[in-house]
Structure 1
Amino acid sequence: MESIYFTEEHQLFRKSLKEFLQKEVVPHIEKWEKTGTIERFIWKKFGEMGFFGISYPEAYGGLNLDLFYTVIFLEELQKIKSSGFAAAMWAHAYLAMTHLNAEGDERIKQDYLVPSIAGEKIGALCITEPFGGSDVAGMRTTAVKNGNKYIINGSKTFITNGVYADYYIVAAKTDPSQGNKGISIFLVDTTTRGISATKLDKLGWRASDTAEIAFDNVEIPVENLMGEEGKGFPYIMQHFASERLIMAINGHARAEYAIDYTIEYMSQREAFGKKIDKFQALRHKIVEHATDVEHCKVFNYAAAARLDKGEYVVKEATMAKLKSTKVADETIYSCLQMLGGYGYMEEYPLARLLRDSRLGPIGGGTSEILKEILSKMIIDNKNYEPAVN
């Protein structure tokens, strides 16, 4: 099935990326997992290799490649025993930078998108709030216009790269009386006075820095408004389709990694005088999970192909994330079980993979929220439309 979407150039890119990750990233993973801080040098190396610019215009230092190079980038990042490291990379490249490219003016693109592609600046997307969760429209952070400035007050939480980011893409209400029609998007440099970030202690994604951020009378120039005032909500919704598809691809990739690792382990492990990959109960369980993962891959690739053509695949991306993250959790749970006691040991990858995978059905919209969105589309015939810039 892969040959439908991946050319020889794609496969060469995958090989190059694998070699880069094994050489430059894997030797540092255990340190970053323990410290919770990914050192700045690796961001610059990713930038030098062009990995942050895969999907971005050449005018800003990008490569302007098709979406399946991004698919490869996401898949291979899931196979190096740290979904936290992977999250830091893709949250920068496909959450923060997506807004820079889509809604940023030329000044913002030159000052922030160009160095982001080069790995010289790190970005974070700030939408979720302590009392809001998946309820984007219910956010309380405000941005009040005062002369030639906006003054931001409020807080955000669960923000990937929140502590060591150089800039935030912040959603705030410019007109609270308008509900979701009163939300706007801003660029906020993290050196601005009045910002404080607190690192959060998480179950998984330990290498990734996740923060709660407070904005206390933070003043930014009016030029840091991105796009039109009051259009923040449709901008956010526009990009949720790609974020959900990213998390779906991450899901099938880490599940595939778990299966490959477990099959290799089973081929070496002996019990009752034979290799455990000869026990029918285990063989059949692996086959069931492999079938589920392959179904997810085929669906996710098809959705990616449509998104690459410019189609608005919010329904398919929502379905993809809902299913793929569930399949990943179920697959990794079974794979850990097949390793027995060793699956519970930290020196083997399944323990960390199980913790890391649990974020899948939560981040980027919980599975419960996704089901309600799909219910509105499938049962109530609601039609979500893309934002008009």
Structure 2
Amino acid sequence: DTAELVFENCRVPKENILGEVNKGFYSIMRNFQNERTVLAAQSMGEASKALELTLQYVQERKAFGETLWDKQTIRQRLAMLQAKVEAGRQLTYHAAWLDSMGQDCVKEVSMAKAFCCELVNETMYTCQQFHGGFGYVRESAIERMVRDARVQSIGGGATEVMLEEISKRSIIG
């Protein structure tokens, strides 16, 4: 939840204090790198699954006497999405590695979060289109995946926040 909690005149016994007094915000900020990396990774997992379902669908679905897979445009759009998802996966691995090495990686984690969480939505919308009318039916897996993916670009810091984090760390001099 994102609601504000205010405790006035609240006493906490010393043995129950987590971290340093009046430094809770900084503790939360340290966790953001982990949360954002997980969201990037989760997004690439979701995108990969959507591509898997869509590749299976277009290879089976016939329209105008041939499968959708026989259409060059469809094959090429799906191939480009596969390349982008792999790029997002590698970007996420790199950000996670930097974090595991204890390096300052706010910029790289923000890049992974922004790129992957926007890419999962691009992937979902494209896959939904290739499923045709069935992609909009509540009973289809892809329809649910499209709805679920939307939150990725919001949770853990919206894409615009990630882009500002990247920008702040891109100033030379």
TM-score class, shorter:
over 0.9
Q: State yes or no: 1:282 paired with 2:74.
A: yes
**Aligned AA (1:142):** V
Q: State yes or no: 1:373 paired with 2:165.
A: yes
Distance in 1 of aligned mates of 2:145 and 2:129 = 13
In the alignment, which residue of structure 2 is the partner of 1:143? 7
Distance in 2 of aligned mates of 1:245 and 1:276 = 35
Partner of residue 227 from structure 1, selected from 16, 19, 40: 19
Partner of residue 267 from structure 1, selected from 59, 63, 83: 59
**Contact map agreement 2:39 2:113 (CA 8 A) in 1:** yes
In the alignment, which residue of structure 1 is the partner of 2:88? 296
Q: What secondary structure is seen at the aligned counterpart in 2 of 1:358?
A: helix
**Contact map agreement 2:106 2:165 (CA 8 A) in 1:** no
**Aligned AA (2:128):** L
Q: What secondary structure is seen at the aligned counterpart in 2 of 1:229?
A: coil
In the alignment, which residue of structure 2 is the partner of 1:170? none
Task: Kindly indicate which of the two structures has a greater share of residues assigned to strand.
Answer: 1
Alpha-carbon offset, residue 370 of structure 1: 1.4
Q: Which runs of 5+ in 1 are unaligned?
A: 1-125, 130-139, 151-220, 382-389
Count of matched residue pairs: 173
Alpha-carbon offset, residue 347 of structure 1: 2.0
In the alignment, which residue of structure 2 is the partner of 1:25? none
Distance in 2 of aligned mates of 1:283 and 1:351 = 21
Distance in 1 of aligned mates of 2:156 and 2:172 = 23
- RMSD over aligned Cα, in angstroms? 1.7
Alpha-carbon offset, residue 299 of structure 1: 1.1
**Aligned AA (2:146):** L
Q: What secondary structure is seen at the aligned counterpart in 2 of 1:142?
A: coil
Task: Kindly indicate which of the two structures has a greater share of residues assigned to helix.
Answer: 2
In the alignment, which residue of structure 2 is the partner of 1:245? 37
In the alignment, which residue of structure 1 is the partner of 2:146? 354
TM-score in terms of structure 2 length = 0.92
Deviation readout 1:218-246 (Å, 9 max, x if unpaired): xxx55332111011121111111111100
Q: Which runs of 5+ in 2 are unaligned?
A: none
Deviating 4+ runs (over 4 angstroms): none
Matched ranges for 1:110-129 at <5 A: 128-129=2-3
Alpha-carbon offset, residue 309 of structure 1: 2.5
Matched ranges for 1:1-389 at <5 A: 128-129=2-3, 141-146=5-10, 149-150=11-12, 221-379=13-171
**Aligned AA (2:147):** R
TM-score in terms of structure 1 length = 0.42
Deviation readout 1:271-322 (Å, 9 max, x if unpaired): 1111111101111110111111111011111222222233332211111000
Alpha-carbon offset, residue 358 of structure 1: 0.3
**Alignment identity in percent?**
35
Q: With CA pairs under 8 Å and 6+ residues apart, which has the higher RCO, 1 or 2? A: 2
